[in-house]
Amino acid sequence: MGTTNVSLLEPMKTWVECQVSSGQYGNTSDYIRELIRRYQERKQAVVLLQRAINAGVESGAAEPFDATSFKLRIRERHVVR
């Protein structure tokens, strides 16, 4: 595992120390690794969301939606017989 030194402003340093002293994290490195993991997950979620948005935009103009006929189709499909 590599080592990286990070300089923090005093309020940030105090915040990190409080998170570690709360017992949730074993040390500062554990806390920073958790932040990075969460950030990576969030970035991936944004990428997936953007892909879905792009696919929707590229799919063309929206068509009118008839809620009544939609409900009927769903009921017909899921009727217990």
CA pair distance 34, 27, nearest whole angstrom: 11
CA pair distance 81, 79, nearest whole angstrom: 6
Task: Tell me whether residue 3 is in a domain.
Answer: no
Task: Tell me whether residue 17 is in a domain.
Answer: yes
What pLDDT is stored for residue 34 in this prediction?
97
Q: What global pTM score does this model have?
A: 0.70
How many structural domains is the chain composed of? 1
Task: Tell me whether residue 4 is in a domain.
Answer: no
Task: Tell me whether residue 5 is in a domain.
Answer: no
pLDDT by residue, tens only, the chain of 81 residues: 899 999 999 999 999 999 999 999 999 999 999 999 999 999 999 999 999 999 999 999 988 999 999 999 999 988 866
CA pair distance 50, 10, nearest whole angstrom: 36
What pLDDT is stored for residue 1 in this prediction?
85
Task: Tell me whether residue 37 is in a domain.
Answer: yes
CA pair distance 34, 15, nearest whole angstrom: 14
Q: Which domain holds residue 30?
A: 10-77
